[in-house]
Amino acid sequence: MASTFIGNYVDSKMLRLKELLLTMQEFFYFALRAFSTLPKAKRYWRDVLDQALICGVESIPIVLVSSISIGALMSMEVGNLLEEFGAKTMLGRSTSNAVLRELGPLLMGLMLSARYGSRNGAELGAMQISEQIDALRAFGTDPIAKLVMPRLLAALIMFVPLIALSDFAGLQTGALVAEYYHKIDPGIFWNSIYPRLAPKDFVVSFLKAPVFAIIITLVSSFNGFSARGGTAGVGRSTIKGIVASSGLVLVANFYVSKIVLDIMH
Amino acid sequence: MIELRNVTLKYGEKVILDKVSLAVQDNTIKAILGPSGVGKSTIIKLMLGLIKPNSGQVFVDGVDITPMKEANLYPIRRKMGIVFQGNALFDSMTIAQNMSFFLRENLRLPDEEIRRRVMEQIRFAGLEGYEDQLPESLSGGMKKRVAIGRALIFNPKMILFDEPTAGLDPVSSRKILNLITSLKKSNDLGAVFVTHIIDDVFAIADEVAVLYQSKIIFDGPTEKLHESEHPFIRSILSDKILEL
Ligand SMILES: Nc1ncnc2c1ncn2[C@@H]1O[C@H](COP(=O)(O)OP(=O)(O)OP(=O)(O)O)[C@@H](O)[C@H]1O
Ligand SMILES: [Mg+2]
C-alpha cells in the first residue's frame, strides 16, 4: 500500500518532469522559429509598427513611473545612509549604480512583463481558442511570422530607448531629491557620477533591453499559443506567461550584471 | 478527394480517433455526424494537416500529406476552404479585409483583381454595405457567411465546414444549408460538414459517416442510414437526440 503510494508519487513526479522537459523543448523550437522569421519583417512592417507603438510609446508612462520611483527612493534612502558616514558627496555615484545597472532595468523589466507580456498572452490566447491561429495556418500564413515576429522585433527595437528613458528619468529624479531633500548641490551630485561612469555601466544597462525583450515577448507569446480550454484557459495561460517571464527577468537581470561585470571588472 | 486511412489520434493517453478510415469524393456533400466532443473538429484539422495523426495517413488528391512540412502544406490547404466552428474571423479587421487578407498574403495579384474577387464574395454572401464593418457588429448568420466567403477566396474544390449551423437560429441555419447546396450546384464545390444535428444531414448530405466512440460506425449514402442496425444510429433516428 505504502509502496504503491510512493511509486505513484514518484511516477507522477517523473511525468511532471517529462512534461516540463517537453514544454521546454517546444519553447526552444518556438523561439528558433520566431528568430528565423525575422527576415519577413519587411512583409509585416505594419504589424511591427503597430507593436512598436504598443510596447514602446504606450509603455512610456509605466517606465517613467517605475524609474522615477526607483531614482527617488534610492537617492532618499542612500542619502540618509551616506549622511551618517559623512559621505553625502558620493550620493550621485551610489544612486547611479542602482538606477542604471540594477533596480532601474529590473523594475522596468517587471513592469513591461506585466504590461506587454499580459497583453500578448491574452491577445494571442484569445486568438488561439477562437481558432484564429488555426485559420492563419489553414489559409497559408505562418502565425509565428505574422504574430510573434513583429512583437519580438518591436520589443527588441523599443526596449533600448525605453531603457535610456528609464536611466535618464531615474538619475534626474535622484538629482532632484538630492537637491531638495538632502540639500546637495546638483553639480556635486552629477560630478560624482560623470567621471566614474564606465562603459560597463552602459553595457549592463543596455544589454538588459534585448535580453528582457526576448524573454518577455517569447514567453508570453508561447503561453498565448498554448492556451486551451476556453476563456478560463486564456486566463490560466496568461498568468503562467507573466509568472514565468517575471521570474526569468529576475534571473536574467542578475546574470547579465554578473557576467558583464565579471568580464569588464 | 480527401481520404483518411487508418488514422489514429491520441491526446496524451486518450484515444480520440481509433483507426478511422474515411473518403470524401469531389463534388459531393459528405456529412460527418457525431455527438459533442467525439472528435469532429479533430477530423477537419487532420484533413488540413493542422494536426498530425499518431498513425495512419491522410491523402489529399492522392498525395499523402502526413509526412509533409508546414511550408509544403500551404499550397495543398489552398485546395480546400475551411469554415471554423466559431468562424475564426479576425476581429481587428473589417469584413473586406478579412476576405482579402489571405489573397494579399499568398498571391501576387494586382489590387484591382483583389478588390474584384472580394466584391464578388461580398455580393455572393449578401453582405453589400457591410464591407467596412468589424465582425463584432454582425449577426451570427452574417458572420458565418463572411467565413464562407473567406473560405471561397482561393476558388477551392472543396469546403470543410465545422458545425456550420450550430448556434444559429432556424432561418439563418436554413440559409447556410441552402448556400452549401447551391455552391455544389453552381460551382461544382464538394463539401465536408461535421455536425451533431441529424436534420441537417438529411437536408443536404449526399453521404454520411457516423463517428461514435472513436470509430466510424456507418459510412454510406444518406438514404441508407435508415437501414443501419447499430443501436446508436437506431436511437438517434428515433429520438433525433445526439447525446452520449
Ligand atoms: N489540444 C488538445 N489537447 C487535449 N485534448 C484535446 C485537444 N483538442 C481537443 N481535445 C479533446 O479531444 C476531443 C475531441 O475534440 P473535438 O474538438 O475534435 O470534438 P468535437 O467533436 O469537435 O466536439 P464539439 O462538439 O465540442 O465541437 C475532446 O474530448 C477534446 O476535449
Ligand atoms: Mg468541434
Whether residue B84 and residue A140 make contact (CB cut-off 8 A), yes or no, is: no
| B contacts of A140 (beta carbons < 8 Å) | 74-75, 77-78, 102, 105-106
Residue of B nearest to A146 (CA): B105
ipTM score assigned to the predicted complex: 0.92
Sign of CA dihedral A65, A69, A70, A75: positive
- Give yes or no for a contact between A224 and A237, defined as CB atoms under 8 angstroms apart: yes
| CA A95 – CA A74 distance, rounded (Å) | 6
Place of cell 509585416: A44
Residue A3 confidence class, pLDDT cut points 50, 70, 90: low
Minimum-distance CB partner of B86 among A131, A138, A140: A131
| CA A224 – CA A213 distance, rounded (Å) | 16
Q: What is the pLDDT of residues A95-146, one digit of tens each?
A: 998 889 889 999 999 999 999 999 999 999 999 999 999 999 999 999 999 9
Residue of A nearest to B86 (CA): A130
Give the predicted TM-score (pTM) of the model.
0.90
Confidence at residue B89, expressed as pLDDT on a 0 to 100 scale: 96
Domains and CATH numbers, chain B: 1-79+190-244 (3.40.50.300)
Q: Decide: B11 in ligand 1 pocket, CB within 6 A.
A: yes
Q: How far is the CA of B86 from the centre of ligand 2 (A)?
A: 9
Q: What is the pLDDT of residues B137-178, one digit of tens each?
A: 999 999 999 999 999 989 999 999 999 998 899 999 999 999
Place of cell 478527394: B1
Mean pLDDT of A28-44: 96
Place of cell 542578475: A254
User: Which ligand places an atom closest to the C-alpha of B43?
Assistant: 1
Give B108→chain A minimum CA distance, Å: 13
Q: Decide: B32 in ligand 1 pocket, CB within 6 A.
A: no
Confidence at residue A4, expressed as pLDDT on a 0 to 100 scale: 72
Q: Decide: B42 in ligand 1 pocket, CB within 6 A.
A: yes
Confidence at residue B244, expressed as pLDDT on a 0 to 100 scale: 43
Minimum-distance CB partner of A134 among B50, B105, B154: B50
- For residue A4, count other CB atoms closer than 10 A to its CB: 9
- Give yes or no for a contact between B82 and B34, defined as CB atoms under 8 angstroms apart: no
| A contacts of B74 (beta carbons < 8 Å) | 140
Confidence at residue A79, expressed as pLDDT on a 0 to 100 scale: 92
Which residues in chain B land under pLDDT 70?
240-244
Task: Give residues with Cβ within 8 angstroms of B5, minimum separation 6.
Answer: B21, B56, B57, B58, B59
**In this structure, which amino acid lies at residue A58?**
E
Residue of A nearest to B73 (CA): A140
Whether residue A141 and residue B105 make contact (CB cut-off 8 A), yes or no, is: yes
| A contacts of B77 (beta carbons < 8 Å) | 137-140
